[in-house]
Amino acid sequence: MNKRVWIGVGLAAALLVGWAIFRPELLLVNRTVSEEFPAAPRSVAAGSQTPQQLFSGQFKGYAHPTDGTASIYRMDNKRILRLTNFRTSNGPDVHVYLIAAPDATDDATVKKQRSSISVF
């Protein structure tokens, strides 16, 4: 083989091994987020500053391994979505759907429920 071909193959192999060892795309991934509830304005009555849990549900992963809890709280006449212990697989185009289904056990149920909700 030509000397240039061997140099190209060696360079490609070195780049592949370097990528596999150092995984540079992981530098851009935020693995952990921990946020407090937003602070209520000072003009609000003291009783409404305490978050009240309205709804809660467990994540189930069918297309990708996913688990955790989604909870909706009311605080200061606003609704706050809180994800706790949420984990999912990494991907370039990850979507999370919150649906009102007693037990979505397959993709068809999720797709059916998804078509009946509004995205905001």
Specify if 75 maps to a domain.
Answer: yes
Specify if 74 maps to a domain.
Answer: yes
Specify if 19 maps to a domain.
Answer: no
Q: β-strands 78-88, 52-58: how paired? A: unpaired
Specify if 35 maps to a domain.
Answer: no
pLDDT score of 92: 66
Specify if 14 maps to a domain.
Answer: no
Q: Which of 27, 32, 30 is nearest to 85 (CA)?
A: 32
Residues 101, 114, 52, 31: is their CA dihedral positive or negative? positive
Specify if 94 maps to a domain.
Answer: yes
**SS3 of residue 112 by DSSP:** helix
Specify if 15 maps to a domain.
Answer: no
- Total domains, the chain: 1
Report the residue count for the chain: 120
Name the strand (E) or helix (H) holding 6: helix 3-22
CA distance 107 to 62: 7
Q: Write out pLDDT tens, residues 51-108.
A: 899 988 888 777 777 888 889 999 888 888 898 888 887 766 777 777 777 666 676 7
Q: What is the pTM (predicted TM-score) of this model?
A: 0.56
CA distance 75 to 105: 32
Question: Structural domain of residue 97, as residue ranges?
Answer: 49-114
Q: Write out pLDDT tens, residues 36-46.
A: 877 766 655 55
93 alpha-carbon distance from chain centroid: 10
